[in-house]
Amino acid sequence: MSYYPRRKFLKNGIQATFLLAFNPIQRLFAAPKMADALPTWNQLVEIARWCPTIHNLQPHQLKIISETEAELYFDPKRLLPVGDPNSVFVTIALAMFVEHLSIAAGLDGFKVEIDEVYQAVSTKATESTRFARLKLIPTVEKESLHASLIMKRRTSRLHYDGRSLAKETIDRIRQEALAFEHEFFHSSDQEFVDFVIDLNQQTLFEDLESKSGREELHRLFRYTDEDAARLKDGLWYKAMAFPGKLMSSVFENHQRWEKGALKLVLGNYYQHSFNGTASVCWFGGAFDRTQDWINAGKMFARTWLIMTKDNAYIHPFGSLITNQGAYAQINEKLTQASGTKKIWMIFRAGYSNEPVRSFRLSTEEIILK
Task: Give pLDDT tens digits for 240-298.
Answer: 999 999 999 989 888 888 888 888 888 888 888 999 999 999 999 999 999 999 999 99
Q: What is the pTM of this model?
A: 0.90
Q: Where do the structural domains in the chain lie, given as residue ranges?
A: 30-153+361-368, 167-209+258-350
Q: What is the fold, at CATH topology level, of the domain defined by 30-153+361-368?
A: NADH Oxidase (3.40.109)
- Whether the CA torsion 227, 233, 234, 239 is positive or negative: it is positive
pLDDT of residue 4: 39
pLDDT at 338: 66
Q: Are 180 and 296 in contact (CB under 8 A)?
A: yes
Reply yes or no on whether the pLDDT at 29 is more than 60. Answer: no
Name the nearest CA neighbour of 52 among 180, 173, 151, 158: 151
- Distance, C-alpha 82 to centroid of its chain: 20
DSSP state of 163: P
Q: State residue 28's pLDDT score.
A: 61
30-153+361-368 and 167-209+258-350, same CATH topology: yes
3-state class (DSSP) for residue 304:
helix
- Rounded to the nearest 5°, which phi and psi values hold at 340? -90, 5
- CA 64-73-143 angle, to 5 degrees, is 65
Mean pLDDT, rounded, for 40-60 = 98
How many H helices and E strands in the chain? 15, 11
Q: 3-state class of 200 per DSSP?
A: helix
Residue 277 falls in which region: left (phi positive, over 0), alpha (psi -120 to 50) or beta: beta
d(CA 324, CA 135): 38
pLDDT of residue 5: 45
pLDDT value of residue 25:
55
Q: In this predicted structure, what is the pLDDT of residue 129? A: 98
pLDDT score recorded for residue 341: 81
The answer to whether residues 134 and 114 touch, using CB atoms and an 8 Å cutoff, is: yes
Question: Average pLDDT, whole number, for the chain?
Answer: 90
pLDDT band for position 62 (cuts 50, 70, 90): very high
Q: Which amino acid is at 57?
A: L
Q: Average pLDDT in the 331-354 region?
A: 88
pLDDT tens column, 170-221 = 999 999 999 999 999 999 999 999 999 999 999 988 988 899 999 999 999 9
Decide if domain 167-209+258-350 falls under CATH 3.40.109.10. Answer: yes
First to last CA, the chain: 54
Q: Are 314 and 156 in contact (CB under 8 A)?
A: yes
pLDDT of residue 294: 98
d(CA 14, CA 234): 40
Distance CA 357, CA 369 (A): 28
